[in-house]
Copies of this chain bind each other. A is one copy, B any other.
Amino acid sequence: MPGPKDLTYLGCSIANSVPILGDRWNILILRDAFMGVRRFEDFQTDLGIARNILSSRLDDLVAAGIFETREYQDNPPRHEYRLTEKGKDLMDLLLALWRWGDRWAPPELRDPRKLIHLDCGHPTQIVAACAHCGGELKRSNLRIEPGLEVVEATSSDTQVPA
């Protein structure tokens, strides 16, 4: 039985989000949604996604509670897809994706657009901060409890069979 596999056995919040967020089109659809796109036709022409796939992905996103549909016209019933709170909460993730892509992509592929932080007026990028103390979160100051360092202490770096 090929086709996407059920991953709940992994018992991890990342694994739980993966069925929705580990999909190229869903990510791009969300990017568009954050840019203000809301209608089927607009997603389709902007992304160049096949209509059947778009239809299926939008259904998935609605089922996942990330989008909700809202009627904007009665006569031929038309609705648009809007981000729910759960969906809006994905912004951090999109920003992180943007920052990473921007930092590591070859210059000619970089997005010329800038992200402006209106509070300070400067172009910005996301930095991971601690929800408790506001300090930066780095590989070196994080631990997963119980056990397991997020980053290994590179203990085996010199492990050449002696």
Contacts and interface: CB of A to CB of B under 8 A. Distances in A.
Contacts of A97: 13-14, 17, 21, 93
A10 B48 CA distance: 9
Contacts of A144: 35, 113-116
Interface string A2-17: 0011011111111111
Contacts of A113: 144-146
B129 A134 contact: yes
A32 to B, nearest CB: 10
A36 interface: yes
A120 B135 contact: yes
Interface of A: 4-5, 7-19, 21-28, 31, 34-36, 47-48, 65, 72-74, 86, 88-105, 109-111, 113-120, 122-139, 141-146, 148-152, 156, 159, 161
- Closest 4 A/B residue pairs (Cβ): A13-B101, A22-B24, A120-B133, A129-B129
Given A16-B105, A113-B145, 13 more contacts: A12-B101, A13-B100, A15-B31, A16-B101, A34-B151, A92-B126, A92-B127, A96-B128, A123-B145, A124-B131, A124-B133, A127-B129, A127-B134
